[in-house]
Structure 1
Amino acid sequence: MLVYTGTATVVSYLPKKNKNMVLLSTLHTEAEISDCQDRRPVIILDYNCNKGGVDNLDKVIGTYSCRRMTVHWPLVIFHNIIDVSSYNTFVIWREINPSWMPGKRNKRVFLEQLAKALVTPVIERARVRDQPEHPVPLATSPVAPSKRKRCQMCPRGVHRVRGQQEG
Structure 2
Amino acid sequence: MPEVTVVLGDITTQTVDAIVNAANTRMRGGGGVDGAIHRAGGPEILIDCVARFPRGLATGDAGWTTAGLMPARWVIHTVGPNYRAGHTDRGLLVSCYQRSLEVADELGAAIIAFPLISAGIYGWPHGDAIRAAVETLRATESSVREARIIAFNPATVATVQTLL
* TM-score band, normalised by shorter chain: under 0.3
TM-score of the superposed pair, with normalisation by structure 1: 0.22
Which protein is richer in strand relative to its size?
2
TM-score of the superposed pair, with normalisation by structure 2: 0.22
